[in-house]
Each structure stands twice: as C-alpha cells, then as structure tokens.
Amino acid sequence: MLDSLATDPTPSLISPDMLPYQSRTTGPLKLGVLASGNGSNFEIMIEAIASGQLHAQVQVVIYNNPGAKVAARAERWGVPAILLNHREYDRREYLDAAIVEVLQRYEVEWVVMAGWMRIVTPVLLDAFENRAINIHPSLLPSFPGVRAIEQALAAGVKITGCTVHLVVPEVDAGPILMQAAVPVMPDDTPESLHARVQVMEHRILPRAIALAASRTSS
Ligand code: GRF
C-alpha cells in the first residue's frame, strides 16, 4: 500500500456521492465566481463547461486583489471580470452589497467561492441562500480558516484533502457536498502538498457544483 502511495502522484479517495457530474436542471446554471488570486479552480470550471461536462456558464468573475491572475484567465476565456477591491470598503457588509449588486446584474443563480479569501456576511448569503459554494483545502471540519495546508502539516496528519461545501455565516462550516482525500508524504512542503490537493480540488469542484444544483432543482 505504501509503495503504491509513493509511486502514484495523486492517490486519492473521493466521497461516494460524487457520481452526478452533469446537472439535471434544464438551462445552463448561471454561475458567478468569487476569486482572490490564481484562479485555477475558476479555469477548471470553464474547461468543464467548454468540454460539455458541466452544463453551466460563468456569467461573471469578481476578484478583490488588483492584478490577480484570475482576471487574466477570465479575459482569455471572454468572461467579464470585475474588480471589487475590499480595501475600498469600510465594512464587510458594504463589500458584500457591492458583490450582490454585480451578481444580480449578471443574473447569477449560484455563487462559487473559488479561492475567495474574504469572510462573507449575511448580506451575501441572504441574497443567495443555499446557493453559495466554497472550496477549502482540507477535510473539513479539520483545519478551517486560513493556511489549511500549513495547519495539516503542523498537525502531522497522514491524510488531508479538500472539501466543497455550502456556505453559511460560520467560516468553512456549511453542509459538505463532496470531499477528496490526499495523503501527506513525509517530505511534503506546503507547496508540494497544496499542488496535490489542488489536483483533487479540480476533480471535485465541477462535480460538486452539478450535485448541489441537482439537489435543489429536482
Ligand atoms: C484553493 O486551494 C482553495 O481551496 C483555497 O484557495 C485556493 C485557490 O486556488 N480556498 P486557485 O486560485 O483556484 O488556484
């Protein structure tokens, strides 16, 4: 077993309710993505849509850090990208109100927080009740909050992973939609472990979006 773990770069276990990949809703899901940085999870959603695996369209990407790579990725795919810099808002609620305004203007039905490094408030969650999804790089409820990868390494766990869940006001605490497990290797650094966790994030995120939408639409 250990040998196979050592040779397979992405050994994994995904939670069993992952099977639906294609949403059962009629029209494409209208997604709005919130992202703070790199945007690889955004791009994986776009690729799943482009290849016909996820029946959805990304209406808009909102990002909060000027120069975030996700903006360039959005531009490449022709997706509108709107900068809402949190530094320009005195309160979280004011930022969230601006986010809601953009999401509604772009007729978004579901919000996907894909590397959104801001705490959200009821202003956003009330507008998208049970329609906001987050991806987190640990097996929740272990290691919520920031630096989840570093937390896992510091705790010495042998298995960590990623979780897609519905968003509730408590940070990283909503109902779990899907998880994938990733072993921690003895020589892992935060970077190497995060890279393997991200491979699994990219596998489960499109499936979890379809799963969440199919549960509320059937
Ligand atoms: C992911 O690891 C996600 O779980 C965490 O932030 C990271 C975002 O990665 N919340 P990317 O920007 O999608 O590449």
Write the CATH number for 177: 3.40.50.170
> What is the domain extent for residue 48?
2-217
Q: Give the pLDDT score at 12.
A: 55
Using DSSP's 3-state secondary structure scheme, residue 9 falls into: coil
Percent of residues in the chain assigned helix, strand, coil, to nearest 5:
40, 20, 40
Cα dihedral across residues 210, 67, 198, 166: positive or negative: negative
DSSP 112-131: EESS--S---HHHHHHTTT-
What is the atom index within ligand 1 of the atom nearest the CA of 40? 14
Q: Which tokens hold the place of 61? A: 């990407």
136 as an active site residue: the answer is yes
What is the atom index within ligand 1 of the atom nearest the CA of 44? 13
pLDDT of residue 41 exceeding 90 = yes
State the pTM of this model: 0.90
For 124-166, the pLDDT digits (tens) are 999 999 999 999 999 999 999 999 999 999 999 999 999 999 9
148 CA to centre of ligand 1 in angstroms: 11
Tokens 């929740």 found at? 140
| Number of domains the chain is built from | 1
